[in-house]
Chain A
């Protein structure tokens, strides 16, 4: 593959480099590779659920459980986090006007933990679901698979902590003295927020994984009811990390939209201050709502109310972002190239997913939707509808700067239409499936429930459309990175203006550009 057309280098030079753009590129390539691998698993799951009572594609329920477990783990830990880190590595040092990340070697080490952790998750192919709830993961989850998953997640967790330390130090300590923190671009703010969140949230899950492992080895019984342990304790430790983690996945995508929307609207951002405020608010509120995942575990009423209010507190901050985007577009002269299309689509779906979240957070409604396909639809609408849209938009934006060539705009637009259509069709339908009472994570369902059959088939067709969109994306990435037209590196999208962060990164001595 031709990388950096004007200064081609052998791939090994990039692999063993510690320069932030090279590490960023490695993060991006591995993250996208894992996206396609996990996407294949998603297609298997949805195709299997097209007909009830069939097992020609996935022969048994344990295999089905393994497939959706690895799909979830891969999408979250091996696609969402690495791609955010990749873009962060590429842009943050330039945004804060520093020559590299604060600790370049640590940065490279943090990246190289990803393929190792990924290999453990994929070679183990555990069946515990991505949440690995006790007591199943302690008592019944089979052999090396679950243990490999625990080790894989530990490695990925350490990688997250190392890269977070690097981002925090780079932004707070290495930024140019002439650049006040409040003027640091919002994408860098989003990376700062999520890095601080990771440092606070991750230790809880790290502890939970160690306890899970020692429980599995039989030397402790923290979560094992037969040894006097409490499985609910695992849920608390898990969700204390993973509700904030939702924002850790989300905020970089929002930060990327803050980079793209003013650029393609050809006007200044409406409000830098409100963007910073909303990031910080979401960073704090993210820790006030983990209990809403556990309303049905026998929590007392007052605690539930506290978590309900804590969850709803995210609405104004999220609304500030949406308002900021709309106000930025207002009065601009918007060029709808692929990055902008994905940003606008992402905002629309972010709003829809958020509305579903508000309903989820209301206690009585949560009891209806708990453990149903509603939750699957809601979670995926956030992950695909907002996070993946933001990431894909940013990948299209940064593509000419990395490869020196332009992607095919027509193919990218086909990708956008198929991805938007598919996302709406699959995940809105899954909300309805949940309201019809279909539980999530089931291998099969009765053919007599005609509404379940119809809705599953609609969702599966949507998934195929979504998958088709990603095939277009793959062609754009692979074919046009070597055969695409040479890009005008000064202004690849024809937008005017002089400042393009990624282009500046081509020069290793970009400090202060």
Chain B
């Protein structure tokens, strides 16, 4: 679990940094080509495609994880026939016995 969290954090940082590097390059290029014509429409659509790529990448990771979770941890999965350790408790949702106060 910890490894997955670490990979997710690294992936998110990378996704945040990559556009910044791109913008820095673009800014440097702008300074060199000052007074040149900029096709705003093309720039905006480029921005759109970049952001959609980032959104779809994160979306694919999250959706893929969710689909796998749904498949793997469904109660009908062969590995999921045995009750979990929380199900022995009075309240599995808080992981407590009644004497400990429940919610």
Residues of A within 8 A of B (CB): 95, 178-179, 183, 185, 262-263, 265-269, 322-323, 326-327, 329-336, 344, 347-348, 351-352, 355-356, 358-359, 362, 364-365, 367-368, 495-499
Contact B93 A367 (CB under 8 A): no
Q: Which residue of A lies closest to B85 (CB)?
A: A267
B81 to chain A, nearest CB (A): 9
A505 to chain B, nearest CB (A): 14
Contacts of B83 in A (CB 8 A): 266, 333, 496
Contact A355 B47 (CB under 8 A): no
**Alpha-carbon distance A262/B92, docked complex (angstroms):** 8
Contacts of B48 in A (CB 8 A): 359, 365, 368
Contact A499 B47 (CB under 8 A): no
Contact A333 B75 (CB under 8 A): yes
**Alpha-carbon distance A243/B62, docked complex (angstroms):** 26
B49 to chain A, nearest CB (A): 10
Q: Which residue of A lies closest to B46 (CB)?
A: A364
**Alpha-carbon distance A499/B96, docked complex (angstroms):** 11
Contacts of B66 in A (CB 8 A): 326, 344, 347-348
Q: Which residue of A lies closest to B95 (CB)?
A: A268
Given A268-B93, A351-B63, A358-B55, is A497 in contact with B73 using a C-beta cutoff of 8 Å?
no
Contact A263 B93 (CB under 8 A): yes
Q: Hey, what's the 0/1 contact readout for B55-95 against A, CB within 8 Å counting as 1?
A: 11011001101100110011100001001101101111111
Whether, in the assembled complex, B44 has its beta carbon less than 8 Å from a beta carbon of chain A, the answer is: yes
Contact B84 A267 (CB under 8 A): yes
Contact A333 B47 (CB under 8 A): no
Given A333-B75, A344-B70, is A365 in contact with B55 using a C-beta cutoff of 8 Å?
no
Contacts of B1 in A (CB 8 A): 327, 330
Contact A499 B65 (CB under 8 A): no
**Alpha-carbon distance A368/B42, docked complex (angstroms):** 12
The answer, among A178, A348, A362, A496, for a CB contact under 8 Å with B63, is: A348
Given A359-B48, A497-B90, is A352 in contact with B75 using a C-beta cutoff of 8 Å?
no
**Alpha-carbon distance A336/B73, docked complex (angstroms):** 10
Q: Which residue of A lies closest to B88 (CB)?
A: A496
The answer, among B59, B73, B84, B103, for a CB contact under 8 Å with A351, is: B59
Whether, in the assembled complex, B11 has its beta carbon less than 8 Å from a beta carbon of chain A, the answer is: no
**Alpha-carbon distance A185/B91, docked complex (angstroms):** 13
Contact A331 B93 (CB under 8 A): no
A-B contact pairs, 29 of them (CB 8 A): A262-B93, A267-B92, A268-B92, A268-B94, A268-B95, A323-B8, A326-B62, A327-B1, A329-B73, A330-B69, A330-B73, A332-B73, A333-B73, A333-B80, A333-B87, A348-B63, A351-B59, A355-B58, A358-B51, A359-B48, A364-B47, A365-B47, A365-B48, A497-B89, A497-B90, A498-B91, A498-B102, A499-B90, A499-B102
Q: Which residue of B lies closest to A367 (CB)?
A: B44
Q: Which residue of A lies closest to B67 (CB)?
A: A348
Residues of B within 8 A of A (CB): 1, 8, 43-44, 47-48, 51-52, 55-56, 58-59, 62-63, 65-66, 69-70, 73-75, 80, 83-84, 86-87, 89-95, 98, 101-103
Q: A95-B103, A262-B93 are in contact. List 16 more A-B contacts (CB 8 A).
A: A178-B101, A183-B103, A262-B92, A266-B83, A266-B86, A267-B95, A268-B93, A329-B70, A332-B73, A333-B84, A333-B87, A348-B63, A356-B55, A362-B47, A497-B90, A499-B102
Contacts of A499 in B (CB 8 A): 90-91, 93-94, 102-103
The answer, among B59, B74, B91, for a CB contact under 8 Å with A352, is: B59
Contact B59 A355 (CB under 8 A): yes
Contacts of B59 in A (CB 8 A): 351-352, 355
**Alpha-carbon distance A326/B5, docked complex (angstroms):** 12
The answer, among B51, B69, B70, B86, for a CB contact under 8 Å with A365, is: B51
Contacts of B102 in A (CB 8 A): 498-499
Contact A326 B65 (CB under 8 A): yes
Contact B52 A359 (CB under 8 A): yes
* Listed residue (A179, A323, A356, A364) with the most chain B CB atoms within 10 angstroms of its CB: A364
* Listed residue (B58, B62, B80) with the most chain A CB atoms within 10 angstroms of its CB: B62
Contacts of B92 in A (CB 8 A): 262, 266-268, 495-497
Contact B47 A497 (CB under 8 A): no
**Alpha-carbon distance A497/B63, docked complex (angstroms):** 30
**Alpha-carbon distance A265/B51, docked complex (angstroms):** 34
Contacts of A333 in B (CB 8 A): 73, 75, 80, 83-84, 87
Contacts of A269 in B (CB 8 A): 93-94
**Alpha-carbon distance A335/B80, docked complex (angstroms):** 11
B6 to chain A, nearest CB (A): 13
Contacts of B51 in A (CB 8 A): 358-359, 362, 365
**Alpha-carbon distance A336/B76, docked complex (angstroms):** 10
A337 to chain B, nearest CB (A): 10
Q: Which residue of A lies closest to B44 (CB)?
A: A364
Contacts of A263 in B (CB 8 A): 93
Sorted from nearest, which 7 A-B pairs have the closest CB atoms?
A268-B95, A355-B55, A262-B93, A364-B44, A499-B91, A267-B86, A498-B90
**Alpha-carbon distance A358/B102, docked complex (angstroms):** 39
Contacts of B91 in A (CB 8 A): 497-499
Q: Which residue of B lies closest to A496 (CB)?
A: B87
